[in-house]
Structure 1
Amino acid sequence: MARRICVFTGGRADYGPLSAVLQALHDDPEIELRLLVSGSHLVSQQGSTVDVIAADGFPVSEQVPVVLGSDTPASVAKSFGLGAIGYAEALERIAPDLVVLLGDRYEVLAAATAATFQRIPIAHICGGEVTAGSTDEGMRHAITKLSHLHFTATDEFRRRVIQLGENPDRVHAVGSPGLDTARTIELLDRAALSAAVGVKLRTPTIAVTYHPATADPVGSRAGIRGLLAALDRIGPATVVFTGTNVDLGGPTADHELQRFIDCHPGRMVMCRSLGQTLYLSLLKHADVIVGNSSSALIEAPALGTPTVNIGTRQEGRPTSVSTISCTETPDAIGSAIQHALTAEHRERSRTGTSPYGDGHAAPRILRILKTTPLDGAFKKRFVDL
């Protein structure tokens, strides 16, 4: 009998890394795949990326809108509540044998809570990580404690999950599935990418992905100001910005970025939702990626692209030799960008590797999802070290 597995996705932050896992599940005749889609996927300002999921050939079983028209703390808390209600109803209809969740966002925690009350076992991808500058940090560890099967990107992250009291037999270091996509996807050439984003890709081309550091709002605002001041000094570079996540302060940050872009017509552009092919193509062809996104630390090194990592949002994550971390001041950011563009650092980046695995996580995850017994999954006990 096929095992019915429901995969939850709340936006591009988890859909990109999940895509290789989804493909593996979709192609396996012993798996009955269901998709629960929510969050920014259903927001027009974020590109209505639920259409991308359908175009990729994955079955969208349930859609649960939760994002309110405000980015205040109360609105995010209310969105969490809407999610818990909607996900409970959706999971009741899907009736899965197992729910797969990735990451650390509030939508994912709401899905984990709904599954827990319905006694549906949870498999969690990307536990054990540390991002000190984001409120997602606590949510990630909470999801870990609600989960029954764990897939971590590194052995270090596996040790942390075990430190939280999880059974070592159910914690598997498999690598980051986002690297599977980076390894296998057919990327656009430079001309096609230029046409797709709507701006000529000069040298240097700078990709910018900057999200609010939700646990450090003062540093987050300083980071945006420092980033824009540094970019203003760079000279005639092409700068391609991606939109922020649906986070506290996200719309405010987007507006500030857009005002800056409007002052530099012809060489700067905002692409709110690129999708996997365009985004990874941008990472590949960019001379440097600047910001505070996890993709700049995980996928960019695998593509040989230098990274400038700003501020505290990703503090605690392992980094490659291609990554230069800096504070939020214009001088620090500008200096880091200039160093990243040197021939020496570009060569170091070209020959470096990502510390998050080998790009073969999805088949490992599939095998374990298929073979792990689910009987008695809820009989968890805290395992002391």
Structure 2
Amino acid sequence: MADRKICIVTGTRAEYGLLYWLMREINEDTELELQLIATGTHFSSEFGMTYEQIEQDGFVINEKIEMLLSSDSPVGITKSLGLATIGFADAFERLKPDVIVLLGDRYEILAAAQAALIARIPVAHISGGETTEGVIDEAIRHSVTKMSHFHFVGAEEYRRRVIQLGEQPERVFNFGDIGLDNINRLKLLSKEEFEKSIGFSLGKINFLVTYHPESLSHRNPLLTVQALFEALDAFPAAKVIITKPNADTGSRVILEMIDEYALVHSDRVFACTSLGQVRYLSAMKYCNVVIGNSSSGIIEAPAFQVPTVNIGNRQNGRLKADSIIDCDDSADSIKLSIEKALSGDFQKEMTSVMSLYGIGNTSEEIKNVLKSAQLESILIKKFNDFGINSVN
């Protein structure tokens, strides 16, 4: 019988892709038992019913928590948060995990952290200490940090920030960003295999586009997406692959606009709910520019030495490599940034770009800590006074 039960929570396709290798590491360790809770958009037909991919990958989902209401308004999302908290309370009581692993900053992760806090179950949080100033995720991420007992961050600056929040330095680990494990460990598709898998041919110039609504912005996301499409239309020879946003406030209007845009421009635009990690990273490998405001343009794209046009404020505060071009959400600014990314001089600079988020092998490092960590008295947290004790 396994010595320690480690429960991983996943609520979106992107998050599952980041957690995949950690789940594998735990599942293959005979001294550990993997427990898996799926929730959020994994059970939404609108977002691809991606829990099926988890099961196809050979994992057993121990608990399925359906919590999404058919509304992306602030009221609807708040009610979904409440439903998720109730669901996690029941799930944790049935599973009785020794440690719960949460990644990131979405509202279903906040629900899991709240339920774990009351259930007195230690939480290990991945990707704390980062800042994303344009979305409510910023406050959620730091709140989850304060409810967590182990912290696995993506860079040294983020480690210092978690310690600044009062966490004990010996419980904050910088093994690099977990997303880079996919680049190192997945077998990506050849260009021909990728084209066949999506039924769409690439061209001489290819764009990979993902745009999420900025939940703290007062600007209508419809206007930003219209500006993005106007900028893309300035490059009629480019083939465009669009992946759709997660279930955030205002996402449904974006989904409708993407579908309409892809239908009108079917000769050069391919849109889908989810590519999955292998196809998404393969698309990134073969594209000329990553466009939008996804964290993958900040973390993974530099590892491929592919330039990123980062739109708006969603990723403000993150560490950014020299391959990232920030712009506002006007059509002219996006267009000029794409032109810069495609320019010969900028493309030459890509050969010297390096990731700011480590070199991978993060999942194994996290698993080893979770396996060996002493859990006795771990729930009693002492505040590390930043002005008194060194962050080192």
Letter in 2 for 1:239: V
For the structure 1 residues 68 and 350, does the alpha-carbon distance in structure 2 shift closer, same or farther, using more than 3 Å as the test?
farther
Within 2, Cα distance between the matches of 1:258 and 1:236? 20
Query: Are the structure 2 counterparts of residues 114 and 294 from structure 1 closer, same or farther at C-alpha, using a change threshold of 3 Å?
Result: same
> Is structure 2 residue 112 aligned with structure 1 residue 103?
no
Misfit runs of 4+, over 6 Å: none
- Whole-Å separation in 2 of the counterparts to 1:60 and 1:313: 32
Report the AA paired with residue 54 of structure 1.
E
2:150 maps to which residue? 149
Residue ranges of structure 1 left out of the alignment (5+ in a row) = none
Q: Which runs of 5+ in 2 are unaligned?
A: 387-392
- Residue equivalent to 1:299: 300
Which secondary structure does the structure 1 equivalent of 2:241 belong to? strand
> Is 232-241 or 129-138 further displaced after alignment?
232-241
Length-normalised TM-score, structure 2: 0.96
Q: Which amino acid aligns with 2:82?
A: G
Q: How does 1:264-279 map to 2 (within 5 A)?
A: 264-279=265-280
CA–CA distance in 2 between the matches of 1:363 and 1:217?
41
Match of 2:178 in 1: 177
CA deviation after TM superposition for structure 1 residue 324, in Å: 0.8
> For residues 348 and 29 of structure 1, what CA distance do their matches in structure 2 show?
46
Aligned partner of residue 234 in structure 1, secondary structure: coil
Does the aligned pair in 1 maintain the 2:212–2:294 contact within 8 Å? yes
Aligned twin of 2:260: 259
Match of 1:57 in 2: 58
The question of 1:316 aligning with 2:317 is answered yes
SS at 1:380 equivalent? coil
Any conservation in 1 of the 2:41–2:247 contact (CA below 8 Å)? yes
Structure 1 residue matching 2:216: 3-state secondary structure: coil
Per the alignment, residue 199 of structure 1 pairs with 200
Give me the identity figure in percent. 42
d(CA) in 1 for partners of 2:128 and 2:95? Answer: 25
- Is residue 126 of structure 2 the alignment partner of residue 125 of structure 1? yes
Q: Provide the C-alpha distance between the structure 1 equivalents of 2:214 and 2:358, rounded to a whole number of angstroms.
A: 26
Task: Give the aligned partner of residue 390 of structure 2.
Answer: none
Could you tell me how far apart the structure 1 residues matched to 2:35 and 2:330 are? 46
Q: Which amino acid aligns with 1:383?
A: N
Return the offset for 1:220: 4.0
CA contact (8 A) 2:6 2:97 kept: yes
- State the match for 1:351 in structure 2: 352
Q: Identify the residue that residue 364 of structure 2 maps to in structure 1.
A: 363
Deviations 1:7-44 (A, max 9, x none): 00001231121112111111111110010000011111
Counterpart Cα distance in 2 of 1:69 and 1:292 = 24
- State yes or no: 1:342 paired with 2:336: no
Distance 2:40 2:230 in 1: 32
What amino acid is aligned across from residue 251 of structure 1 in structure 2? R
C-alpha contact (below 8 Å) 1:123/1:147 kept by paired residues: yes
Q: In structure 2, give the amino acid aligned to 1:361.
A: T
Alpha-carbon separation, structure 1, partners of 2:223 and 2:316: 16
Distance 1:243 1:217 in 2: 21
CA contact (8 A) 1:223 1:310 kept: no
Do residues 240 (structure 1) and 249 (structure 2) align? Answer: no
Q: Which amino acid aligns with 1:213?
A: E
* Alpha-carbon distance between aligned partners in 2 of 1:197 and 1:249, rounded to the nearest angstrom: 27
**Alpha carbons of 1:350 and 1:271: their partners in 2 closer, same or farther (altered >3 Å)?**
farther
Name the Cα RMSD after superposition: 1.2
